[in-house]
């Protein structure tokens, strides 16, 4: 047991774990489903851009969507098959909105892409090269957030990483995939940790695990070599929700607080999930991009709750069937745990990089029949908040849609852990209000950026027009100057000669018109006779015409 002196965070809850429910058997490998539905966005940031078309045959591990922005992650084919569609599909997201997915009809051959680059001697690689490998493998935080991992391994100018933390707390009830990963792939996790340490040149590494997972703690400690024991410490931390929150785990392990609006790197710390570390080892040492993960399928509506190794894009229903879901008894399906999970309404929704758990609940388990009552200002929520916020104030201002006030109360420090809502005697769905406020603020920010861009475009256009006007004026001025120069220094004489020239031109024109209307006297005899005959004819006609 580590002798490290631990800190503790404010608030939090002691919850029933329910973890053993899904930890009794082995992790099974889910078969390849007939069809994989792979969202192009399984991470925080910009969606990836498809690089395959309908009809293309793809191999396992092949890039199917590339990243087009810094905060993004590429997506790879989890198995071989043929792209049968690129279309909107239900995806796991709190908004419930569909998103673009690449659909692969699998061929069952599971044929790997040739020429995968492997780097067992990773310590010989440059840190930048390691980050590139991790980025190209599409690795994102597997603890649930889905932030691109390579970015967190890029401390930034002048920032040093003193402590690299691996988060193995897995504090939310029912979820056990990280616990089993630590038991079964302890050495891979340590290898991934060493790679990340080399990438950021950290001094010390800590692996924080809640003390309700003794097997996992032991497995990791047993995997350490004597040399690794000098700089890696596997630390058992008290079981208390939400110890797995990044700021909370850092506080427990280092007794350091991350100030509001700051990041762990600002105090010399970075934190990754244990699953992310295993994925890093796969990518760098074995050349395997992120295409699958461990998923806990548990709850009261499955007969065989356990952990499965599933390919991304596998429909959730495919996993539920393997765990013998009680058809007709499934009242609610959550992706994630009961505190922070998101509701899934379509069972064909695919497993993605951040799917750690499918929690099934029967109708009688659902306490949604509580009707929210008015806030009685009891302060229970503030006592439970691990981020030391004032949840009731956040609620008031979110409800009033006063988003400036919501930000004054640091809504973006809220980790949406749900502790406040859990203890609220008025059963107010507090977290929903905070999510609403955050979404609105982000939208307003996007709108503002859009209007700022439009304003900048308008200002630039005005500037160009003004510039053109000045250029034209300048051109005219220069022309005048040149003319003056060409005329020498006798401007009056030049003017006079110009007037005389103009008058001569007018005179010549008049002369031209005069000669055009010839006098009859100038006509020849034959022409004159012709004119007289025409006049006589006209006279005769006039006499004969009764109308005249």
Pick between residue 280 and residue 437 the one whose CB is nearest to ligand SF4. 437
What is the separation of C-alpha 307 from the centre of its chain, rounded to a whole number of angstroms? 28
Name the minimum Å distance from CB 437 to ligand SF4.
Answer: 11
State which residue, 357 or 417, has the beta carbon closest to ligand SF4: 417
- The alpha carbon dihedral of 44, 49, 54, 59 has a sign of negative
Closest CA to 190 of 176, 206, 179, 202: 206
CB of 77 to ligand SF4, least distance (A): 37
Q: Which is nearer to ligand SF4, 122 or 434 (CB)?
A: 434
Which CB, 188 or 416, lies closer to ligand SF4?
Answer: 416
Which residues are at the interface with ligand SF4 (CB under 6 A)? 375-381, 384-387, 389, 391-392, 394-395, 414-420, 424-426, 428, 430-431, 434
Residues 199, 161 contacting (CB under 8 angstroms):
no
Residue 303 three-state SS: coil
Please report how close the Cβ of residue 353 comes to ligand SF4 at its closest, in angstroms.
24
Cα separation, 361 vs 332, whole angstroms = 5
Query: In this structure, are strands 35-39 and 99-106 parallel, antiparallel, or unpaired?
Result: antiparallel
Q: Cα(381)–Cα(13) distance, rounded to whole angstroms? A: 11
Which of 108, 425 has the CB closer to ligand SF4?
A: 425
Distance (Å, whole) CA 403 – CA 412: 11
Closest CB to ligand SF4 among residues 279, 387:
387
- Please report how close the Cβ of residue 289 comes to ligand SF4 at its closest, in angstroms: 34
> Is the Cβ of residue 217 or residue 417 nearer to ligand SF4 in the bound state?
417
| H or E element that contains 544 | helix 525-544
> How far is Cα 116 from Cα 457, in angstroms, rounded to an integer?
46
Q: Based on CB atoms, which residue is closest to ligand SF4, 219 or 417? A: 417
Give the separation between CA 93 and CA 353, rounded to whole angstroms: 12
Q: Specify which residues 21 forms β-bridges with.
A: none
CA angle in degrees (0–180, nearest 5) for 265-267-268: 60
Task: Say how far apart CA 20 and CA 29 lie, in whole Å.
Answer: 19
Task: Output the smallest distance, CB 339 to ligand SF4, in A.
Answer: 9
Please, which residues have CB within 8 angstroms of residue 433's CB and are 6 or more apart in sequence? Answer: 394, 395, 398, 399
CB of 411 to ligand SF4, least distance (A): 8
- CA contacts within 13 A on the Cβ side of 197: 21
Cβ–Cβ under 8 Å, residues 295 and 357: yes
CB of 409 to ligand SF4, least distance (A): 9
- Burial grade of 283 (CB within 10 A; 0-12, 13-18, 19 or more): buried
Shortest spacing between CB 258 and ligand SF4, in angstroms: 14
Whichever of 141 and 418 has its CB closer to ligand SF4, that residue is 418
Cβ–Cβ < 8 Å for 14, 238: no
Rounded to a whole number of angstroms, the minimum distance from the CB of residue 127 to ligand SF4 is: 34
With a CB cutoff of 8 Å and minimum separation 6, the contacts of 371 are: 427
Q: How far is the CB of 208 from ligand SF4 (least distance, A)?
A: 19
Quote the least distance from Cβ 410 to ligand SF4, whole Å. 9
Nearer to ligand SF4, 218 or 432 (CB): 432
For ligand SF4, which is the closer residue by CB, 91 or 415? 415
């Amino acid at each position: 047991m580590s002798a490290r002196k631990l800190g503790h965070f404010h608030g939090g809850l002691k919850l029933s774990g329910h973890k053993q429910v899904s930890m009794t058997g082995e992790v099974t490998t889910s078969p390849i489903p007939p069809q994989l539905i792979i969202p192009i966005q399984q991470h925080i940031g910009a969606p990836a851009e498809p690089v395959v078309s309908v009809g293309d045959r793809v191999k396992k591990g092949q890039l199917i969507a590339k990243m087009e922005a810094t905060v993004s992650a590429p997506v790879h084919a989890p198995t071989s098959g043929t792209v049968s569609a690129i279309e909107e599909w239900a995806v796991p997201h709190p908004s419930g909105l569909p998103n673009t997915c690449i659909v692969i009809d699998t061929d069952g051959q599971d044929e790997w892409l040739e020429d995968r680059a492997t780097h067992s001697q990773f310590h010989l690689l440059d840190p930048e090269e390691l980050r590139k490998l991790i980025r190209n493998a599409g690795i994102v935080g597997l603890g649930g957030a889905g932030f691109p991992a390579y970015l967190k391994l890029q401390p930034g100018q002048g920032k040093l990483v003193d402590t690299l933390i691996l988060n193995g707390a897995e504090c939310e009830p029912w979820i056990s995939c990280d616990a089993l990963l630590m038991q079964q792939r302890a050495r891979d996790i340590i290898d991934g940790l060493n790679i990340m340490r080399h990438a950021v040149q950290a001094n010390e590494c800590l692996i924080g695990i809640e003390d309700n997972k003794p097997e996992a703690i032991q497995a990791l400690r047993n995997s350490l070599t004597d040399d690794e024991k000098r700089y890696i410490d596997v630390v058992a931390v008290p079981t208390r929700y939400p110890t797995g929150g990044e700021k909370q785990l850092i506080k427990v392990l280092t007794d350091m607080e991350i100030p509001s609006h700051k990041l762990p790197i600002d105090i010399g710390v970075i934190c990754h999930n244990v699953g992310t570390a295993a994925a890093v080892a796969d990518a760098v040492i074995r050349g395997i991009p992120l295409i699958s993960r461990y998923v806990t399928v548990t709850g009261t509506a499955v007969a065989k709750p356990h952990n499965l190794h599933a390919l991304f894009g596998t429909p959730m229903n495919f996993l539920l069937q393997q765990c013998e879901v009680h058809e007709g008894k499934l009242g609610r399906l959550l992706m994630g745990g009961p505190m922070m999970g998101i509701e899934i309404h379509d069972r064909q929704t695919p497993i993605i990089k951040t799917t750690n758990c499918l929690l099934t609940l029967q109708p009688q388990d659902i306490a949604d029949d509580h009707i929210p009552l008015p806030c009685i200002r009891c302060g229970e929520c503030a006592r439970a908040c691990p981020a030391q916020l004032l949840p009731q104030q956040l609620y008031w201002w979110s409800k009033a849609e006063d988003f400036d006030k919501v930000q004054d109360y640091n809504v973006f420090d809220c980790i949406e852990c749900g502790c406040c809502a859990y203890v609220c005697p008025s059963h107010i769905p507090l977290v929903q209000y905070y999510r609403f406020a955050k979404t609105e603020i982000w939208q307003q920010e996007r709108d503002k950026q859009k209007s700022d861009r439009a304003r900048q475009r308008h200002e630039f256009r005005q500037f160009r027009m003004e510039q053109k006007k000045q250029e034209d004026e300048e051109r005219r001025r220069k022309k005048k100057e040149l003319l003056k120069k060409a005329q020498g220094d006798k401007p009056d004489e030049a003017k006079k000669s110009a007037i005389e020239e103009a008058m001569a031109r007018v005179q010549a024109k008049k002369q031209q018109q005069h000669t055009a209307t010839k006098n009859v006297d100038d006509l020849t005899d034959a022409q004159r006779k012709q004119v007289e005959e025409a006049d006589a004819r006209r006279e005769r006609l006039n006499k004969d015409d009764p109308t005249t």
